[in-house]
Amino acid sequence: MPIFYLFVVILDEPAAAWQAIWRPATLSLLLRSLALAVAVGFTATAVAVPLAWLTGRSDLPWRRGWTVLSVLPLVIPSYIGAYLFVSAFGPRGELQKLLGVDQLPSLYGFVGAWIVLTLFTFPLVLLPVRAAMRRLDPTLEDAARGMGRSQFEVARSVILPQLIPAIGAGALLVSLYALSDFGAVSILRFDSFTQVIYQSYRSSFDRTAAAGLAGVLVLVLFVLLAAERRVRARRSYHRIGPGSARITEDVALGRWRWPAVAFCTVVALLSFVMPVGMLIFWSTQSIAGDIDWSQVTTAAANSVLLAGLTAAVAVVAALPVAWLGARAPGRLSRVVDGLTTSGYALPGIVVALAMVFVGIRLVPALYQSLPMTVIAMVIICLPLAVTSTRSAVLQIPPRLEEAARSSGRSPLAVLATVGIPLTRIGILAGAALVFVAAIKELPIVVLLSPIGFDTLPLVIWQQSSRSFFESGAIPALMLIAVTAPGVWLLVGRQR
Amino acid sequence: MLNRIPRIASLSLAVLAVAVGGCASNGDGGSGDSKSLTIYSGRDKEYVEPLIESFKRANPKMAVEVRYGDSAELAATIREEGDRTPAGIFFSQDAGALGALGKEGLLKQLPTSILDRVPSAYRSPQGDWVGTSGRVRVLGYDSRVLKADQLPQSVFDLTDPKWRGKVGWAPTNASFQAFVTAMRMTDGEEKTKKWLEGMKANDTHSYEKNSIIRDAIADGEIEVGLINHYYVLEAIKEGKANGATYPVKILFFPGGDVGTMINVAGIGIPKSSTQQAAAEAFISFVLADPQQKYFADEVGEYPLVKGIAQDPSLPPLESIQQPDKLDLADLADLQGTQKLLQETGVL
C-alpha cells in the first residue's frame, strides 16, 4: 500500500520527483544512510551473537537475569535512548559535569547514531540467534568434536553456519530499522535519508521530493533483501535424521567466566540500566512536572490495546508470508517479501500519509478509526513477525509435513496440527516483537488514530514538546513498564 | 507444496478481516452539520485545550474534537485527505504551514469581518488564513553587567569582537531557524552566510533551547542571547525570581531589524470543509478580546488584535516594526536554512 501511494505521488509530477532525486547530494545521502545501516547491522551482530551464546549455551553466572536484561533495550524507543545518550555524554551533559572537563569529543553525527542505534536494536539479532542456538542438534557438534576439532573450530565450522539464517534475518531487521529511524538520527543530527524525507515534509512541504526519495529507499530495501537472501540461500537447516533432537548442553566457561560477566555488564549498563536510571532520576525532579495520572493510565491502556491487536493481526498475516518464504522461495515469495518489508523500512510518516491517502478514499467509514490504525501498524511491523516465524519454519523438517499430508490430512489440518505447534515459539516471539515495536510507534498514532485516543508515545511527545524533555520521564517509564510483559513473553517462553 | 498456499492465504485474510471488523468502531471523522467541529492543531495541547474548553462552554451543543500533531505533518495530512478532509479548522504553530496549504489552493477564503480583526502584516495577503498570536525574537541580556547604552543596535552587531564568547544561540531551535530564514529573505543569502560565519568565529555558545540560554544568562555564563520574548516572563511566572530583581532583561532591536522579527501562529479553514459555519465561529471566538487576552496572560504571546495589551513590561505590538520584505508564509523554507547552517558549520 505505501508503495502504491509512492507511485501515485511520483507519477503525479514525475519531473519534479526526478529532479529531487537526480542530484549529486542524493548519492552521498544514500551512501551515508547505507553505511549507517550496514555498520549498525554489523555491530549489532557483533554484540548480539556472543551475548546470545553466553546467555543461551554457557554456564554464565546469573544467566536468567542476563537473558532478560539482554532483551530489555528493545523497550526503549530510539528517540528516548538518543536523548538520554546526549544528556549523558553530550555537550554540557552529566558525564562532562562529572569529569569537570570543558569539552568531550563530539558524538553528534555518524558515530553517535551508530552507537545509539546499535545499543537499542541489537536484541533484534540476539533473539532469533538465541532461539536458533537452542534448537540446534547437538549431535552435529558431538560428531565434529569426535573428529578431533577444537571447541573454537566447532563453533566456526558447525555452529555458526547453522545460525546464518537467524543472524541474517536479525541483522536485516536492524539495518532496516537504522534506515527508517527518524528519532535517533534527528536528535543526533545525522543526515540520513529518513531525516531528509521528514525535512521535505516539515519544512518545504514538498511531498513530491519526499516521495521520490522514499522511492529510492524502497529500491535500497530490495538490494538489502537480496543480500540477505543470498546469505541464507538454498541450504537446509532442519534435521534429517530420525527421532527428535536432544536438548543442548551448556558449555563451561572456565576462566572466561568473569570476562564474560564484565561484557554482559557493560552492554546492560549502556543499553538499559543507565537510560532507565536517568529516567527515574528525572521523574523524581520537579521538572517532571505535574502529571495527569488519569491521562497517563488511559494512554497506557490504549497503548497495550493497540499493540496487542497489532501483534495478533500481524502474527496471522505473517504465517502465509513466512511459509511461502521458507517452503517456496522463488520470484513470488521475493515480491511478497519486498512488499511486506517496505512498510518496516519506510519512515513512519510516509506510511502514515500513504494510509491517509488510500484510507480516506477506499474505506472512508474506517478512516481514523482503531481498525485502520491497527492495519497501518501491521504494515509497519509485519516483517518482525515474518522473520521470526520463518526461521522457525525453516527448522521444521518438511518430511514431517509430508508425512502428515500423506496420511490424508488437508493442508489446513497439517498447518494446524504440525506447522503451528512446531513453530509456536517462533510465532510467539514474533508476536512479542511486534508488540514491543508497535507500542513505541508515534506518527501512525498522531495521524490515524481516533481523535482523543492517546497513547504513551503521544503523551511523551506532548509533555516533552511543551518545555522539557524531562517532563516526559514519567510516561516514558510507564511505557517501559507496560512493554515488560512483551519482553517476558520473548524470553520466558524460550525454555 | 505450492497448492496449499492460496488456501492458507485466504484463511489468513479471513481471520484478518474478522479481527479487524470485530473491533470496528464508527469512525466518522467529518459529519456535515454545523453542530460539530474537528480541529487539526499543530499548537500544543497545553495552550489549546483551555481555549477549547471555553469554546465548548460558549457553544454547549457543538461537538468539538481536536487532533494534535506537528503543524507541517498535519498540513501534509490535509493535503492527502484532499476533498474528503474531516478537518474543519487547521490551527498552525506557524504561518509557514498555512502558507503552504494556501499556495496549493487548499484553504477557504475567510470573511472580511474575521480578517479585519488583525493588522494586514499578520494575515494572508490572499485572505485565506489569519494570525492569532505572535512571538517576537529578541535579545536577552544580563542587566547586571550591561547598561542600556551598551547594547547592540542590530543583530548584525553581534559579530563584533567585543561580543566574543559572550553570546548564546540555539541553532537547532525552530524559532531560531525561522529567524535565520527571515534573514535570508530580508538581507539575502550572502549576508546571512557571512553573519553566521562571523558569529561562529566570534565563539558564540550553542544551547539546546531558548529557556537554557535564558538560564545561562541568569547564571552569568553569557551576557546576551537570541531568544523569544516570552521566556523572561515565563521565568518570572515560574517563580525563578520576581520581576524586579530578575537579572535577564530583553531588548527589541529597533528600526525593523530582522533580529526582532515577529512570527505568528494562525488559523485557516480547509477548502472542502463541510463545517464552515462552526469553523468561522471558532476563529471569531479565538480573535475575540477575552481569548486574545488569554494569549497575552497565559501563553505570554502577543495578541494580534488591536487594543489588547501585552504585559506592561513589554512594548506594544504597534511599536515593533516587522522587517520589510518579510512574507510570513515564506518562512516555510527551512530546508535552505538548515543547509546554510550546516555549510557554515553552525549545525
CB B252 within 8 A of CB B322: no
Instruction: Give A87-117 pLDDT, tens digit per residue.
Output: 777 666 666 666 666 655 667 778 888 888 9
Please compute the mean of the pLDDT values over residues A157-169 and round it to a whole number: 80
Residue B23 resides in a domain? no
For residue A309, what is the nearest residue in chain B, using CA coordinates? B19
Which residues 254-283 in chain B show a CB within 8 A of chain A? Answer: none
Please compute the mean of the pLDDT values over residues B147-168 and round it to a whole number: 93
Q: Are residues B99 and B244 in the same domain?
A: no
Which residues 102-121 in chain B show a CB within 8 A of chain A? Answer: none
Per the structure, the count of domains in chain B is 2
Instruction: Give A198-249 pLDDT, tens digit per residue.
Output: 877 776 677 777 888 888 888 888 888 887 777 766 556 665 555 555 566 6
Q: Are residues B69 and B88 in the same domain?
A: yes
Instruction: Give B301-345 pLDDT, tens digit per residue.
Output: 899 998 888 788 888 888 888 888 788 877 777 778 878 887 887
Which residues 406-435 in chain A show a CB within 8 A of chain B? Answer: 411-412, 414-415
Interchain contact B285–A (C-beta under 8 A): no
CA distance A186 to A192: 9
Q: Are residues B257 and B145 in the same domain?
A: yes
Q: Do A203 and B332 touch (CB under 8 A)?
A: yes
Indicate if the pLDDT at residue A488 is higher than 80: no
Instruction: Give B191-250 pLDDT, tens digit per residue.
Output: 999 999 999 999 998 887 788 899 889 888 899 999 999 888 888 877 666 667 889 999
Q: In a 3-state reduction of DSSP, which class is residue B280?
A: helix
Indicate if the pLDDT at residue B27 is higher than 60: no
| Rg of the Cα atoms in chain A | 23
Please tell me the predicted confidence (pLDDT) of residue A242: 55
Cα of B153 to nearest chain A Cα, Å: 30
Cα of B342 to nearest chain A Cα, Å: 10
Interchain contact A200–B (C-beta under 8 A): yes
CA distance A419 to A393: 8
Please tell me the predicted confidence (pLDDT) of residue B167: 95
For residue B79, what is the nearest residue in chain A, using CA coordinates? A357
Please compute the mean of the pLDDT values over residues A375-394 and round it to a whole number: 86
Q: Are residues B164 and B51 in the same domain?
A: no
Residue B61 resides in a domain? yes
Q: Are residues B56 and B184 in the same domain?
A: no
How many residue pairs bridge chain A and chain B with CB atoms within 8 Å of each other?
Answer: 150
Model confidence at A465, pLDDT cuts 50, 70, 90, reads low
First to last CA, chain B: 57
Cα of B99 to nearest chain A Cα, Å: 10
* Average model confidence (pLDDT) across chain A: 79
Write the secondary structure of chain A as one string of H (helix), E (strand) and C (coil).
Answer: CHHHHHHHHHHHCHHHHHHHHCCHHHHHHHHHHHHHHHHHHHHHHHHHHHHHHHHHHECCCCHHHHHHHCCHHHHCCHHHHHHHHHHHHCCCCHHHHHHCCCCCCCCCCHHHHHHHHHHHHCHHHHHHHHHHHHHCCHHHHHHHHHCCCCHHHHHHHHHHHHHHHHHHHHHHHHHHHHHHCCHHHHHCCCCCHHHHHHHHHHCCCCHHHHHHHHHHHHHHHHHHHHHHHHHCCCCCCCCCCCCCCCCCCCECCHHHHHHHHHHHHHHHHHHHHHHHHHHHHHHCCHHHCCCCHHHHHHHHHHHHHHHHHHHHHHHHHHHHHHHHHHHCCCHHHHHHHHHHHHHHHCCHHHHHHHHHHHHHHHCHHHCCCHHHHHHHHHHHHHHHHHHHHHHHHHCCCHHHHHHHHHCCCCHHHHHHHHHHHHCHHHHHHHHHHHHHHHCCCCHHHHHHCCCCCCCHHHHHHHHHHHCCHHHHHHHHHHHHHHHHHHHHHHHHCCC
Q: Are residues B220 and B337 in the same domain?
A: yes
Indicate the residue of B27, B335, B337 with minimum beta-carbon distance to A367: B27
Q: Do A411 and B4 touch (CB under 8 A)?
A: yes
Instruction: Give B68-112 pLDDT, tens digit per residue.
Output: 988 888 988 998 898 889 999 999 988 888 988 888 899 999 999
Query: Pick from A293, A353, A338, A315: which is nearest to A437 by CA?
Result: A315
Q: Do B5 and A324 touch (CB under 8 A)?
A: yes
Q: Do A203 and B96 touch (CB under 8 A)?
A: yes
Q: In a 3-state reduction of DSSP, which class is residue B259?
A: helix
**Strand ranges (E), B163-293:** 167-169, 205-206, 224-228, 248-251, 262-268
Please tell me the predicted confidence (pLDDT) of residue B23: 40
Please compute the mean of the pLDDT values over residues B286-298 and round it to a whole number: 91
Q: Do B25 and A356 touch (CB under 8 A)?
A: no
Interchain contact B215–A (C-beta under 8 A): no
Show residues of chain A in contact with B19, CB under 8 Å. Answer: 309, 312-313, 316
Interchain contact A305–B (C-beta under 8 A): no
Q: Do B26 and A369 touch (CB under 8 A)?
A: yes
For residue A87, what is the nearest residue in chain B, using CA coordinates? B208
Please tell me the predicted confidence (pLDDT) of residue B22: 40
In chain A, domain spans: 2-240+249-492
Residue B4 resides in a domain? no
Model confidence at B10, pLDDT cuts 50, 70, 90, reads very low
Interchain contact A295–B (C-beta under 8 A): no
**CATH number of the domain where residue B46 is located:** 3.40.190.10
Indicate the residue of A205, A319, A356 with minimum beta-carbon distance to B100: A205
Q: Are residues B79 and B141 in the same domain?
A: no
Model confidence at A305, pLDDT cuts 50, 70, 90, reads very high
Q: Do B27 and A370 touch (CB under 8 A)?
A: yes
Q: Do A356 and B77 touch (CB under 8 A)?
A: yes
Q: Are residues B72 and B205 in the same domain?
A: no
Instruction: Give B109-141 pLDDT, tens digit per residue.
Output: 999 999 999 998 899 989 999 999 999 999 999
Q: Are residues B237 and B273 in the same domain?
A: no
Q: Do B16 and A317 touch (CB under 8 A)?
A: yes
Indicate the residue of A91, A319, A372 with minimum beta-carbon distance to B12: A319
Q: Are residues B153 and B219 in the same domain?
A: yes
Select the highest-mean-pLDDT range: A393-397, A430-434, B155-159, B210-214. B155-159
Indicate if the pLDDT at residue A175 is higher than 60: yes
For residue B67, what is the nearest residue in chain A, using CA coordinates? A451
Indicate if the pLDDT at residue B7 is higher than 60: no
Interchain contact A42–B (C-beta under 8 A): no
Model confidence at A312, pLDDT cuts 50, 70, 90, reads very high
Interchain contact B45–A (C-beta under 8 A): yes
CATH number given to A2-240+249-492: 1.10.3720.10
Residue B16 resides in a domain? no
Show residues of chain B in contact with A462, CB under 8 Å. Answer: 44-46, 68
Residue B10 resides in a domain? no
Please tell me the predicted confidence (pLDDT) of residue B118: 92
Indicate the residue of B8, B75, B338 with minimum beta-carbon distance to A415: B8
Interchain contact A28–B (C-beta under 8 A): no
Q: In a 3-state reduction of DSSP, which class is residue B274?
A: coil
Q: Do A357 and B80 touch (CB under 8 A)?
A: yes
Residue B27 resides in a domain? no
Residue B115 resides in a domain? yes
The residue of A203, A305, A331, A405 whose CB has the most chain B CBs within 10 angstroms, and thus the best one to mutate to test that interface, is: A203
Interchain contact B26–A (C-beta under 8 A): yes
Q: Are residues B121 and B200 in the same domain?
A: no
Residue B217 resides in a domain? yes
Interchain contact A339–B (C-beta under 8 A): no
For residue A313, what is the nearest residue in chain B, using CA coordinates? B16
For residue A289, what is the nearest residue in chain B, using CA coordinates? B238
Grid cell for residue B58: 460558549
Which residues 89-148 in chain A show a CB within 8 A of chain B? Answer: 91
Of the listed ranges A22-26, B7-11, B185-189, the one predicted with least confidence:
B7-11
Cα of B328 to nearest chain A Cα, Å: 13
Instruction: Give the range of the structural domain holding residue B199, as residue numbers without chain letter.
Output: 135-261+331-343
Indicate if the pLDDT at residue A367 is higher than 50: yes
Which residues 286-345 in chain B show a CB within 8 A of chain A? Answer: 332-335, 337-338, 342
Instruction: Give A259-303 pLDDT, tens digit per residue.
Output: 888 888 888 888 888 888 888 887 877 555 567 788 888 989 999
CB B74 within 8 A of CB B40: yes
Interchain contact A207–B (C-beta under 8 A): yes
Instruction: Give A127-153 pLDDT, tens digit per residue.
Output: 888 877 777 777 777 777 777 777 677
Q: Are residues B196 and B336 in the same domain?
A: yes
